[in-house]
Chains A and B, each alone.
Chain A
Amino acid sequence: MEILDILISASFWTAAIRIASPLIFATMGELICERAGVLNLGIEGIMVVGAFAGWMTVYSGYGLWTGVGVAMLSGMLFGLMHGILTVPFGLSQHVVGLGITLLATSLTYFSYRLALPEVTSPPKIEAFQPLPIPILSEIPVIGPALFTQTPLTYLAFVLVLVLSLVLYRTPVGLALRAAGENPSAVDAQGLSVSGIRIGAVMVGSGLMAVGGAFLTMSAFNSFFFEMVNGRGWICIALVVFGAWKPSKALLGAILFAAFDALQIRIQQTPLGANVPYQVFLMMPYLLSILALVVMSRRAEVPAALMVAFNKGER
């Protein structure tokens, strides 16, 4: 019964949406890459970069939005590297992606140590504050959950809407999807497959970095090691869960976040006292795998995902 109490409490849903926000950014980023035909396993590292870049910018005295911008740019830079290596050079997307994750993570920790050599506990910044939306935030449960969040969370939801529109309603979205379905169709129509794919990986990586920045600038207010903690990998699963569609991926992100918020709360119930807490930590992942199995059975994978396009090869 306590679980039921948790499920109808506003604070639970507020937390779920907050936990979902970075996942939404990064999932949308990964979705853009994969829709163009590039699996971006650099996501985990790029989130670390974004988390650090955004936080460091604000810590150095610049504004919060400047921090978001810097995070995005630094993500795009790694995206550019990923794109060049995998698209024109046609290197293995798995190897490049994992390499970028390792490189980006190490480089970030190294930079952190260079910038703050003597700090033992990471300094806090003045992060984004919740911005209640008038009237809407007064609605019970939904109000605090959806309309008493930080601006970055609102941005995440707007992003899903914009991305859906761009993917399905604009020429550039059409070209991007075609690049992921059949690059030779794109080439035969006189468009540049490399241009589209590199562009998609850059924008996608930028969004992943913003997802990382959410952690330091809207959730924990500080940067510490291991803070991304596998969220990037979760986002890759969420893209599959969402069958490469922004709206379904959004649902997946919220669902996962809700499991996560739930397990934290169950740990504090009498049940939590008797069961090792690791079981609860495991729960969101277990449930995600289950949901993934059920949901992704009939998903249509972009036909040219992970297929390098070499112009002029038979």
Chain B
Amino acid sequence: MAKQSEAQVVLRLDRITKTFGALVANDAVSLDLHKGEVIALLGENGAGKTTLMNILFGHYTADTGSVEVFGQELPPGNPRAALAAGVGMVHQHFTLADNMTVLENIVLGTQPLWRLGFDRSAARARIIKLSGDFGLTVHPDARVGALSVGERQRVEILKALYRDARILILDEPTAVLTPQETDDLFATMRKAVDLGLSVVFISHKLHEVMAISSRVLVLRHGRLVAEVLTEGTDRHVLATLMVGEEVTPPKVADSTAGPALMRLQNVSTADQGSAPGLKSLSLDLRAGQIIGLAGVSGNGQSALADMIGGLTTPLSGTIALENSEPVNWTPRAAVSAGIARIPEDRHKTGTIADFDLTENAILENYSEAPYSRKGWMNWQKAEDFSKHIIDTYDVRCPGPQTRIRLLSGGNMQKLILGRVLEQSPSIILANQPVRGLDIGAVSYVHSRLLDARAGGAAVLLISEDLEEIMALSDVIHVISEGRLSPGFPRGSKTAAELGVWMAGHGFDEEATNAA
């Protein structure tokens, strides 16, 4: 490590402070980045990591403090200057134009605007060379809209490299990647470091931080609370530093399953484009039980969730509730049957971004008393309700009038959780409930789901994270190509055994045995 302190300082942030209204996003944060190292910026959602990097890149202007790149102070609020100084940023939300090709996206802005024509073949050759050097395979002439998420990220990195970036800033790059793609990304990062680049890796995933970085800087509530060498630390220490208190996974008490609150029998749904529909699926959701649905993304999870949530009706088969068989299965019917829906995409289907917290809190029952009487809204009651959620579920926000788009993912999810759990639902449909959340929020959501189970609710937990499924579920089913495996009681299968089912094996033998 002595080697690194002697190495050239390529980037220095000096006492950066930034406030948004009453919120202090960064509080006098300083950091040094040396040539040829990967540092990790660790922190929960809303800790100020992204704000800090946006200041460095000139998207935001800091209230006080300065940014130095290769010894030169950067003018504030000027992305062009940051680019010219050799800073390349890969944003969490990609900044790519979908209708344009990879090459067009990469060369955009790299040449004087007022020139006749541009040398496509030279640009293409350069992109191919960079792809080879850094292990970033992507076709230069492909339309970005047709690429997978992992490929798009490669384009983002290529954009930075094409401009001769010497410092790469990767903002939560693994949030959207499969484990395999994450390994590829790490390989690219190692190649970059070998070639003398420096990398800032922003993440809240501890094992990734441990795997790739040499130093870890921990941000909490906008403050830099610790700076440790990766070699001398472990996941537990980092977790405690990041959250500010000891983190213990929720204890799962034993429970006995009650009566079936919802019975699906031989339900089939139509395929949705390339995503398979359900193939004659039968499933009972029982009171006081968490059923975990494991599977690789895009194997019918959405089809099942949409159907239970009332968004689609089955082509064949029956949906039966505890004491009724609904004729007209709609979202409204699902809500009034006591089904709580925690949707997969909280931004798109869970909330309305430009509505405030109060409006979002009553989205599912705005037309019912007490929020509406005789056709008139009672906003006072609605606001009382949203304040109640904010207090009970610890939603951190300036107030109920805040537009929900300004909340972090974790706080948004807490509001959704409060919205549905406060109705004391009998069935909870939790589709990827902790995706993109930090440790604190994850354990909060999990303990709430366990509370609901203890209270006698039937929970269907859909997740791509096998660890999560195995930790919480009383019974695990695997879904593959729209088919459902038999239920495996807790602890009866190892991750590897479930993985075999996830890969689509086992279903045929099952059919043979049944016949």
A175 close to B99 (CB less than 8 A): no
CB-CB under 8 A from B107, the residues of chain A are: 171, 174
A191 close to B108 (CB less than 8 A): yes
Q: Counting CB contacts under 8 A, is A22 at the interface?
A: no
> How many Å lie between the Cα of A257 and that of B405 in the bound state?
47
A312 close to B104 (CB less than 8 A): no
CB-CB under 8 A from B91, the residues of chain A are: 188
B100 close to A178 (CB less than 8 A): yes
Partner pick for A312 among B59, B100, B406, CB 8 A cutoff: B59
Q: Counting CB contacts under 8 A, is A298 at the interface?
A: no
A187 close to B99 (CB less than 8 A): no
CB-CB under 8 A from B98, the residues of chain A are: 181-182, 303
Partner pick for A175 among B59, B84, B113, CB 8 A cutoff: B113
Q: Counting CB contacts under 8 A, is A242 at the interface?
A: no
> How many Å lie between the Cα of A170 and that of B113 in the bound state?
8
B59 close to A311 (CB less than 8 A): yes
B99 close to A171 (CB less than 8 A): no
> How many Å lie between the Cα of A311 and that of B79 in the bound state?
11
Q: Counting CB contacts under 8 A, is B411 at the interface?
A: no
A-contacting residues, B107-131, CB 8 Å: 107-118
Count of A-B contacts with CB under 8 A? Answer: 86
Closest residue on chain A to residue B84 by CB atoms = A190
Q: Counting CB contacts under 8 A, is A185 at the interface?
A: yes
CB-CB under 8 A from B406, the residues of chain A are: 314
Interface size on A, residues (CB 8 A): 24
A186 close to B99 (CB less than 8 A): no
> How many Å lie between the Cα of A133 and that of B108 in the bound state?
41
CB-CB under 8 A from A303, the residues of chain B are: 97-99
Partner pick for A182 among B54, B79, B96, B111, CB 8 A cutoff: B96
How many Å from the CB of A87 to the closest CB on chain B? 17
B99 close to A181 (CB less than 8 A): yes
Partner pick for B108 among A169, A175, A312, A314, CB 8 A cutoff: A175
CB-CB under 8 A from B108, the residues of chain A are: 174-175, 178, 185-186, 189, 191
How many Å from the CB of A90 to the closest CB on chain B? 14
CB-CB under 8 A from A182, the residues of chain B are: 95-98
How many Å from the CB of B89 to the closest CB on chain A? 7
Q: Counting CB contacts under 8 A, is A177 at the interface?
A: yes
Q: Counting CB contacts under 8 A, is A264 at the interface?
A: no
> How many Å lie between the Cα of A190 and that of B118 in the bound state?
19
CB-CB under 8 A from B109, the residues of chain A are: 175, 186, 189-191
Closest residue on chain A to residue B91 by CB atoms = A188
Closest residue on chain A to residue B51 by CB atoms = A314
Q: Counting CB contacts under 8 A, is B35 at the interface?
A: no
Partner pick for A185 among B81, B97, B116, CB 8 A cutoff: B97
Closest residue on chain A to residue B97 by CB atoms = A181
Q: Counting CB contacts under 8 A, is B505 at the interface?
A: no
> How many Å lie between the Cα of A278 and that of B104 in the bound state?
49
Closest residue on chain A to residue B20 by CB atoms = A314
Q: Counting CB contacts under 8 A, is B215 at the interface?
A: no
CB-CB under 8 A from B113, the residues of chain A are: 171-172, 175, 191
Q: Counting CB contacts under 8 A, is A184 at the interface?
A: yes
How many Å from the CB of B54 to the closest CB on chain A? 8
CB-CB under 8 A from A226, the residues of chain B are: none
> How many Å lie between the Cα of A182 and that of B91 in the bound state?
14
> How many Å lie between the Cα of A171 and that of B117 in the bound state?
7
> How many Å lie between the Cα of A185 and that of B277 in the bound state?
35
A-contacting residues, B20-70, CB 8 Å: 54, 59-60
> How many Å lie between the Cα of A190 and that of B104 in the bound state?
15
Tell whether A187 pairs with B96 under 8 Å between CB atoms, given A170-B116, A171-B118, A311-B59: no
Q: Counting CB contacts under 8 A, is B203 at the interface?
A: no
A189 close to B83 (CB less than 8 A): yes
CB-CB under 8 A from B97, the residues of chain A are: 177-178, 181-182, 185, 303
Q: Counting CB contacts under 8 A, is A300 at the interface?
A: yes
Q: Counting CB contacts under 8 A, is A97 at the interface?
A: no
Closest residue on chain A to residue B57 by CB atoms = A188
B111 close to A300 (CB less than 8 A): no
B114 close to A172 (CB less than 8 A): yes
> How many Å lie between the Cα of A171 and that of B123 in the bound state?
12
Partner pick for A177 among B60, B95, B100, CB 8 A cutoff: B100
Q: Counting CB contacts under 8 A, is A252 at the interface?
A: no
The 8 A-B residue pairs with the shortest CB-CB distance in the complex, in nearest-first order: A189-B109, A190-B80, A181-B97, A188-B95, A182-B97, A185-B95, A172-B113, A184-B95
- For the complex with contacts A177-B99, A182-B96, A187-B95, 16 further pairs of A-B residues with Cβ separation under 8 Å are A169-B116, A170-B117, A171-B114, A171-B118, A175-B108, A178-B108, A181-B97, A181-B98, A181-B99, A185-B108, A186-B109, A188-B79, A189-B109, A190-B109, A311-B59, A312-B59
Give me the interface of B with A, judged by CB distance under 8 Å. 54, 59-60, 79-84, 89, 91, 95-100, 104-105, 107-118, 159, 405-406
